[in-house]
Amino acid sequence: MKILVIGGTGKTGRELIKQGLEAGYRITALVRNPKKVKIDHPNLRVVQGDVLRPESFGKAFQGQDAVLSALGHKRFIVPTSILSAGTRNVIVEMEKQGIKRLICITSLGIGDSRFRMGLYYTLFAIPFILFFYFRDKAKQEDLIQESELDWTIVRPGQLTNGRRKGKYRTGKNLGSYILTLWISRADVAHFMLKQIEDPAYLHQTPGIIY
Ligand SMILES: NC(=O)c1ccc[n+]([C@@H]2O[C@H](COP(=O)([O-])OP(=O)(O)OC[C@H]3O[C@@H](n4cnc5c(N)ncnc54)[C@H](OP(=O)(O)O)[C@@H]3O)[C@@H](O)[C@H]2O)c1
């Protein structure tokens, strides 16, 4: 199968590419800076593009079976629409190209998982640091859920750079109102790749934590 990875130069996106290639997928990575992609593999195609500039997509989406997005950024404290605007462009392009499957990371703490990132996030990080970022993530989720796509929104707890364990909890009502629970980026990527051919979480917003 052919998959398009968005955010492939990021910490989770790199894992999506690495593990996706190991699993035998043919991968296209849509990245702003191709020099940041350090993997060289016959099944990896790198296309320069920016989700905020759909005219830069070229043929990146053509013929893909699924799109996996690990889009993110660090411009937390100013009003931002990068995640929602970028995702809107991705949805439009997928619809244009007839691609149905979208698997996208947002976060615990959004939508009906509100408060499930623990007290530190609920009382401090979200209101004082991540307010605009989380507001944009909520909008990103709305756009995905309102689309006609076969979507799965993956909501991780606090991300770590730990190794892939392959053992984690996923589903509804995960996370804690008190503690911040963790999951490695490698395991988030593992779970996202599993969703490509598994409809169990179709049109759902599973959390993922250890
Ligand atoms: N940190 C946490 O504890 C935590 C918890 C829950 C959820 N999350 C979410 O999980 C996701 C992945 O996190 P991460 O740490 O792996 O992210 P990351 O390392 O910051 O990677 C973000 C990726 O998005 C790309 N990107 C940004 N703007 C773009 C644009 N306009 N066009 C194309 N690509 C663009 C970046 O490209 P460049 O390399 O060009 O910048 C990078 O590849 C994020 O949405 C994050 O908010 C994080």
Report pLDDT digits (tens) over 159-203: 999 999 999 999 999 999 999 999 999 999 999 999 999 999 999
Cα-Cα-Cα-Cα dihedral sign, residues 174, 179, 180, 181: negative
Average pLDDT over residues 81-85: 98
Beta carbon of 44 within 6 Å of any ligand 1 atom = no
pLDDT tens for 113-131 read 999 999 999 999 999 999 9
The reported pLDDT for the residue numbered 154 is 98
Beta carbon of 113 within 6 Å of any ligand 1 atom = no
Give the Å distance between the CA of 68 and the centre of ligand 1: 12
User: Would you place residue 42 in the very low, low, confident or very high pLDDT band (cuts 50, 70, 90)?
Assistant: very high
What pTM does this model have? 0.98
Looking up residue 180, the CATH number of its domain turns out to be: 3.40.50.720
The reported pLDDT for the residue numbered 33 is 98
User: Would you place residue 49 in the very low, low, confident or very high pLDDT band (cuts 50, 70, 90)?
Assistant: very high
Beta carbon of 185 within 6 Å of any ligand 1 atom = yes
24: region left, alpha or beta (phi > 0 left; psi from -120 to 50 alpha) = left
The reported pLDDT for the residue numbered 65 is 98
By residue range, what is the domain housing residue 170?
Answer: 2-209
Q: How many domains does the chain have?
A: 1
